[in-house]
């Protein structure tokens, strides 16, 4: 399956339609993964070092840790990119090839999964960014639909 097909199948699998809110997406990802997803801003995480966000899977939760930014859209893209990795099943199970540079002393079975953007040209990263873009478009569509409705009928 190519990247475009994988992304299209992932969007369809969410069963959210063309427009949805961030909260709708969050619930769908949690339902799909059968676990809680928590989004946490880390003030000490610096985007200048090339690390915008990472996904850490524990035994019970998925944690999306992201850098602080003044741009709501930028922050949303950080988080949606990590959601995309979850939705696409990147590194599910014990076969994750990602190098753990942040938590080297924690065994794989304990930390579950850690993924950060390392090779932006890899198929995995391209697919995640493509899906994140589609998710952002769905969220924007929801915001615009709500705004247009209230402008006309409010």
Which residue's structure tokens are 């997803």? 37
Beta pairing class for 53-57 and 113-116: antiparallel
**C-alpha to C-alpha distance for 79 and 54, rounded to whole angstroms:** 9
Both tokens of 132, joined, read 């994140």
More confident residue, 82 or 122: 82
Query: Which uninterrupted H or E stretch holds 14?
Result: helix 3-14
Both tokens of 32, joined, read 């799909």
Both tokens of 9, joined, read 């199948």
Helix (H, G, I), strand (E, B) or coil at 17: coil
The residue among 66, 68, 72 whose CA lies nearest residue 116 is 66
Picking from 74-78, 112-116, 125-129, which range would have the lowest pLDDT averaged per residue?
112-116
- Does the pTM of the predicted model rise above 0.75? yes
Q: Is residue 7 a contact partner of residue 117, using CB atoms and an 8 Å limit?
A: no
36 forms bridges with which residues in the sheet?
A: 61
pLDDT of 151 reads 52
Contacts of 129 (CB under 8 A, 6+ apart): 81, 84
pLDDT of 114 reads 45
**C-alpha to C-alpha distance for 80 and 136, rounded to whole angstroms:** 7
């Amino acid at each position: 399956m190519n990247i475009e097909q994988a992304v299209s199948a992932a969007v369809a699998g969410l069963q959210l339609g063309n427009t949805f809110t961030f909260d709708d997406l969050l619930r769908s990802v949690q339902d799909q993964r059968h676990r809680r997803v928590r989004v946490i801003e880390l003030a000490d995480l610096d985007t200048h070092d090339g690390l915008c966000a990472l996904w850490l899977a524990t035994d019970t939760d998925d944690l999306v840790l992201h850098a602080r930014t003044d741009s709501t859209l930028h922050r949303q893209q950080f988080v949606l990119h990590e959601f995309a990795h979850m939705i696409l099943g990147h590194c599910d199970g014990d076969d994750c090839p990602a190098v753990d540079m942040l938590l080297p002393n924690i065994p794989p079975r304990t930390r579950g999964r850690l993924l950060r953007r390392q090779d932006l040209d890899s198929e995995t990263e391209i697919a995640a960014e493509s899906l994140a873009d589609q998710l952002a478009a769905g969220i924007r569509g929801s915001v615009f639909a709500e705004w247009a409705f209230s402008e006309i009928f409010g």
